[in-house]
Amino acid sequence: MKGSLLYEGKAKRVYHTDDPEQLILSYKDDATAFNGKKKESFPGKGRLNNLITSKVFQSLHQQHIKTHFIQALNETEQLVYKTDIVPLEVVVRNKAAGSITRRLGITEQTLFQPPILELFYKNDELNDPLINDVHAYHLTGIREQDLLFIKEQALLINEHLSHIFQKAGLELIDFKLEFGFLADGRLVLSDEISPDTCRLWDLETGTKMDKDVFREEIGSLTDTYERILQRLEESVCAK
């Protein structure tokens, strides 16, 4: 049963449940970009991100990736295991887009082989700065072996996600992951994987089909996310 509100973030509300080790994530219709400076509400977006994330996490479970996800409860909510989130945003990039093009002057679409992994410190006041491993040990208290595990998992998840999206006619350009510790101390994938947290380009046309549609105002966010969900459903059924 849904209990009291534990936390409200930019895209989700988190509620307690009867079980102290489980939480309910409720996906909101709000979209934010540029660290909350651009904000708008899109009716139906919460449903789409809940259903897309649920589908992606289920696919990752089939590939034996351990995550916080238990099950979707309804159109906008999912049941997850409570985790103590490591305040790191782990970004994996297969091609250049977004902040790396501005920060390092790399042309959009440049292929990264091997993929580039970047760590950002999750801190709104500091604008989520890019940090190195030693910064991460210092700022988050994470142990060396746990950071190594996170990096290995992120690169493995990149392989699985690239395949999942490729079957749906999408190229995975980059994405952000978060990890957290379960009550028993195990480190698992947490948060969400959706077009809010991934860059996805149509495999044939290169059309942007993710939150860049909102960031760059180049189309309808909900129409785009609906197409992603449809394609994922069709490609899973076609398997």
- Positions that interact with ligand C5P (CB under 6 A): 89, 91, 98-100, 128, 174-176, 197-199, 211
What is the nearest approach in angstroms of ligand C5P to the Cβ of residue 89? 6
Give the CA diameter of the chain.
Answer: 50
Instruction: Name the residue with the smallest CB distance to ligand C5P.
Output: 98
What is the nearest approach in angstroms of ligand C5P to the Cβ of residue 20? 28
Closest-CA residue to 127 (of 25, 239, 237, 35) = 35
Would you say 215 and 38 are in contact if contact means Cβ atoms under 8 Å apart? yes
Which residue in this structure is represented by tokens 């390092």?
Answer: 104
Pairwise CA distance, residues 146 & 144, whole Å = 5
77 or 89: CB nearest ligand C5P:
89
Tokens of 151: 């990096």
Residue type, 44: G
What is the nearest approach in angstroms of ligand C5P to the Cβ of residue 210? 7
91 or 187: CB nearest ligand C5P:
91
What is the nearest approach in angstroms of ligand C5P to the Cβ of residue 98? 2
Closest-CA residue to 225 (of 50, 26, 11) = 50
70 or 116: CB nearest ligand C5P:
116
20 or 171: CB nearest ligand C5P:
171
Phi, psi of 132 (to 5 degrees): -100, 180
203-206's contacts with Cβ under 8 Å and 24+ in sequence apart are 203/166, 203/169, 203/170, 203/171, 204/169, 206/171
77 or 178: CB nearest ligand C5P:
178
What is the nearest approach in angstroms of ligand C5P to the Cβ of residue 133? 18
Other Cβ atoms closer than 10 A to 44: 15
